[in-house]
Structure 1
Amino acid sequence: MKQSPSTPLPPPKERRRLREAGSLTQDQVAERVGVTRATVRGWESGRTNPRGRKREAYAKLLDALAEEKPAEVAVRQGEPEPEPDPQPEPEPQEAATPLTPAQAFDALYAFCAPALVRQCYLLTGRRELARESVERSFQLAWQRWPEVAVDRDPAGWVRATAYEYALSPWHRFRPRYRYPEPPPADASDRALMAVLLELPPPYRRTLLLYDGVGLDLPETAAETEASTPAAANRLLHAREAVAARLPELSDPVELHRRLSELASTERLRAAKPPTVRTGSERRARFWTRAAIAFTIALIGTTALTVRTAPTRYEPPIAPGAEIQGVPPRVAQGALSEVEVELREKLRGGMMSGPERVLPLSR
């Protein structure tokens, strides 16, 4: 369904600005339009766009927010005015000042890292691996910051990288991850973690993204690099496996609550942003020096080969030719008739030959 020209949609940044200017949360907008909070977040980030009647309702709400004051919109819709954000808003001059790359990276890290560590813990069941996965993903993001900074969803980029690292099958060969870590203390948490770890990694990742993080089905399919029907099939099978072992979690709302509680009970802390940036730069320097050392060694080996290699053609030594007429070598013992005749012949030849030259004594 095409958008009606009478109710156009503003750009994604303008949608978010209008919502914040109207003092509305994403949950309130989702309730008015009839969608989920994750869907509204996707509309404001530009990853997705509304369609059909949802698009018309969303466009009308944005038009109302653009024409009226926030308090008037809240009164007209029959709801109390929302409470102000407890966090102080930045001053106009600070908002207009562009952030440095380090400041932008630190802001992204502070926003995503704490929740991302808990998500990786639900994926792996290992606390240390969860922290390592998040640090490695942000180190890679800092190395590729010009690319990540202009990405439409930097948080999704880092999340996908952390999930890939956490679910890598090569961790099983590392000595530090050869043995399982202590399970959660609570019995219900242990049961839920055991069910999650029994799921195949693609099913576990799909379940966490949809029921844990709150992404919609197309976003979950895109992040897991699968089609929407395949993602829906994985989600259904994962929910059936969880409900078979834990019937009380057959409700998706209850499952979402239990996943959040399980991740929050563990004391998982991420490193400080400067530490991650320093580690990323140190790793980059190490691999750069290793590449330079390998190149120098390769150049030295090539120069040595050129120096010691022959400069002209040297024919190979011809194989030895067989000499005819030489009697075969025999072991010690009595002489044969042929050897006796040869001895007599040689003795007779010495008498008729030239005189021998003998040394004279002084």
Structure 2
Amino acid sequence: MTRSVETASSSGSERSLPAPEERRRLREAADLTHEQVAEAVGVTATTVRSWETGRTDPRGRNREAYAAFLTALAAPAAAPEQADTASDGPAGTASEAGTPQTAQTAQTAHTATADAPATPAEDSPEVPAEEPARGPAADFDALYDHAAPALARQTYLLTGRRTLALKAVERAFTRAWARWPEVATDPDPVGWVRAVAYDYALSPWHRFRRAHRRHDARPADPADRILLDAVLALPTRHRRTVMLYDGVGLDLPDTAAETEASTPTAGLRLVHAHADLADRIPELAEVPPEKQSALLRDLFTALRPAAPLDPRPAAAVRGGGERRVRLWSRGALGLTAVIATATGYTAVTAADHYEPPQAPGQSVSGVPPLSGPQQLTVRSRQLHDKLRADPEAGPARIAPKSE
């Protein structure tokens, strides 16, 4: 018999879910695949498999959406069983009676998912199924308007610097626009952009920049200052794990995949990070460990920076990225032209045959080489000096005399 899905209590706690094997049975009874459930809830097929095996449980907005989906599956599932009990025909009759309910079940589940309340931990924007096709610019603007504000807050908590956080978000979306065909077909475009922004914000090379030597203005609220200092005191990998699991609301396997670590390693980092944060944040130490994640999510959401985190408009980010691409293209073309000109000039002026160098003079058969006037001998020098001293010496000459 079908077990009914438990709903949320009136106290406002998270909605209860059936056992993992019941989740799988409800999906198989509705003749749905993991991919169809993942598309309706807004997660990946791997996450749905993890929920059905009991390895992980949904949290936050994903839990609300998954609970609403299972509720929609459980409501029409009792009708085929009643028809099977009342029918005297073969077992296939009940299966055929339940077939027309599959489309209605999927549609009801999708509607319940769309109506579920959104929280800051939602991973990707929900696009209505009947929305007409839009251009790449409109899709990019929708993704930017949905994810940029939350991503700016996350990078600010990771770095403690407003300018660096906004620059990381803009750099990530600029790269996303440059590779938009890849991002548009990615199962999780928000995760694609988030990974790029986190990598840039947590790059160790920023410490060598001059702007990094100046500290940003601290939050006005003392509790916010304590929270920010505690997060920044964590190691980089622990800080990123806490932000993905507690701030964004990802499951532990998804957190491990985005941090490029195994699930046990990510869980160990999370345990150590929670212990370090509890030592620095008094109100976190007062709650049990199973409620620390919910409290951290509330603290992250309530933190108010000293200056507003307002990303630039999506059109300005797109235009800046396109101008940067044009400048790089022109620079590459100019450098190519310079290299081609230098290569052509070298090809024209270079020697086309080998010319051996001139060898120095050498004696041939004992005859010294002719290399200018020869040195005077002793006899020649004496004669030279005598002619210079007595230029008029010689036989007497007849000269006319006047009387």
TM-score by length of 2: 0.64
The yes-or-no answer on 1:237 pairing with 2:272 is yes
Q: Deviations over 1:131-183 (max 9, x none)?
A: 11111111111111100000000000001111111112222233333312111
**Distance in 2, Cα, partners of 1:229 & 1:322:** 89
**Distance in 2, Cα, partners of 1:300 & 1:207:** 55
For 2:178, the equivalent position in structure 1 comes to 143
Change (3 A) 1:247 1:269: same
Q: Which stretches in structure 2 are left out of the alignment for 5+ residues?
A: 1-19, 57-65, 80-100, 106-111, 119-125, 286-291, 369-374, 387-403
**Distance in 2, Cα, partners of 1:66 & 1:147:** 39
AA partner of residue 341 (structure 2): G
Q: Which stretches in structure 1 are left out of the alignment for 5+ residues?
A: 18-39, 74-80, 327-338, 352-362
8 Å CA contact 1:109–1:273 kept in 2: the answer is yes
**Distance in 1, Cα, partners of 2:362 & 2:152:** 79
The yes-or-no answer on 1:156 pairing with 2:191 is yes
For 2:301, the equivalent position in structure 1 comes to 260
- Equivalence map 1:55-134=2 (5 Å): 61-64=71-74, 95-134=130-169
- Equivalence map 1:202-241=2 (5 Å): 202-241=237-276
- Equivalent of 1:300 in 329, 335, 341: 341
**Distance in 1, Cα, partners of 2:357 & 2:182:** 59
**What SS class does the counterpart of residue 314 from structure 1 fall into?**
coil
**Distance in 2, Cα, partners of 1:215 & 1:183:** 28
**What SS class does the counterpart of residue 9 from structure 1 fall into?**
coil
For 1:196, the equivalent position in structure 2 comes to 231
Q: Deviations over 1:314-347 (max 9, x none)?
A: 2234367699999xxxxxxxxxxxx9x9625754
- Equivalent of 2:214 in 156, 166, 179: 179
What is the number of residues matched between the two proteins?
Answer: 300
Q: Deviations over 1:65-93 (max 9, x none)?
A: 66699xxx9xxxxxxx9997899xx9x9x
How far is the alpha carbon of 1:62 from its aligned partner?
4.7
- Equivalent of 1:312 in 353, 357, 378: 353
TM-score by length of 1: 0.70
The yes-or-no answer on 1:9 pairing with 2:21 is no
For 1:49, the equivalent position in structure 2 comes to 48
The yes-or-no answer on 1:291 pairing with 2:336 is no
8 Å CA contact 2:170–2:317 kept in 1: the answer is yes
How far is the alpha carbon of 1:260 from its aligned partner?
1.7
Give % identity.
43
8 Å CA contact 2:219–2:225 kept in 1: the answer is yes
**What SS class does the counterpart of residue 287 from structure 1 fall into?**
helix
Change (3 A) 1:287 1:116: same
**Distance in 2, Cα, partners of 1:314 & 1:139:** 57
How far is the alpha carbon of 1:272 from its aligned partner?
0.8
AA partner of residue 101 (structure 1): P
Q: Deviations over 1:272-310 (max 9, x none)?
A: 111111111111111111111111111111111112211
How far is the alpha carbon of 1:252 from its aligned partner?
2.9
Change (3 A) 1:344 1:65: farther
How far is the alpha carbon of 1:13 from its aligned partner?
5.2
